[in-house]
Amino acid sequence: MKNKNVSLPEALKEHYGSKELSESQIDKLNRLQQEQTDLILEKKKKPNISELSSLFKTKRSAAIAASVLIALMLLPLQRLFVNYQHSNTVDLIVAEVAYNHNKRMKMEIYSTGLPEINTYLEKLDFNLINSGVVSSKLYSIVGARYCSIQGQLAAQLKIKDKETGEMFTFYQSKRPDGFTLEKLYEKRSTGALVKVWLEGDLLLSLAGQ
């Protein structure tokens, strides 16, 4: 019975020894066998271009998929941040309007006519308007002065409710860059009820008790 645990070189020696081969011939056969084995292993180690290309495409697709997934995951956070930023801006406007209203600063010009006030406040880079919210049928203008809203030069008009005689401060300024407001925003701040809205490119606000 053949010994299954015999190594390949020993088997070669045993086989070819029976054929009366010399030691040098057997060694040569062993070297040829080893070279053949090394060649096979070397081929296995060499990278396959098509396989590398396929692997690269797979990794690139995975990276793109991961990027899309991350973007989808961050979208709600981005919307939350935008909403927070917007809410923070309008609340800052409310607080600033309420603060200016409570200071009750003296008017720089006393006039009931908007054209005259427009002429006097010549540093403004916009024209004052008659608002649809602050109707001239309900309010009359008393006077005006310069002020600022969110760092921009604005007009602060003092107006009076024709029916009750209550005094309000009415603000007009350029709309801050990127600021949007779909509908009138109303909030109470430091004792004043403030309304904020947009008309065209102007940011308008009204403060009263």
Q: Which residue has the tokens 């006097």?
A: 120
Label residue 82 by pLDDT band (50, 70, 90): very low
CA dihedral 107, 89, 192, 148 (to 10 degrees): -10
Say how far apart CA 120 and CA 114 lie, in whole Å.
Answer: 10
Length of the chain: 209
pLDDT of the residue at 31: 73
Range 10-16 average pLDDT: 58
Label residue 76 by pLDDT band (50, 70, 90): very low
pLDDT of the residue at 90: 93
Label residue 86 by pLDDT band (50, 70, 90): very low
pLDDT of the residue at 125: 93
Label residue 113 by pLDDT band (50, 70, 90): very high
pLDDT of the residue at 196: 97
Say how far apart CA 88 and CA 82 lie, in whole Å.
Answer: 10
Say how far apart CA 93 and CA 202 lie, in whole Å.
Answer: 13
Label residue 78 by pLDDT band (50, 70, 90): very low
The average confidence (pLDDT) of the chain is 78
User: Buried b vs exposed e over 24-38: b needs ≥16 C-beta within 10 Å?
Assistant: eebeebeeeeeeeee
- Burial label for 147, CB within 10 Å (0-12, 13-18, 19+), is buried
- Burial label for 149, CB within 10 Å (0-12, 13-18, 19+), is buried
153-170: pLDDT as tens digits? 999 999 999 999 999 999
Asked if residue 131 has pLDDT above 90, the reply is: yes
Rg (CA), the chain: 43
pLDDT of the residue at 161: 95
Distances (CA, A) of 62 to 58, 66, 140: 6, 6, 67
pLDDT of the residue at 20: 53
Residue with more model confidence, 112 or 76: 112
Phi-psi region of 85 (alpha: psi -120 to 50; beta: other; left: phi over 0): alpha
pLDDT of the residue at 33: 65
Which three-class secondary structure state does DSSP give residue 110? strand
Residue with more model confidence, 73 or 206: 206
Residue with more model confidence, 57 or 147: 147
In the structure encoding, which two tokens stand for residue 68, read together? 């899309």
pLDDT of the residue at 84: 35
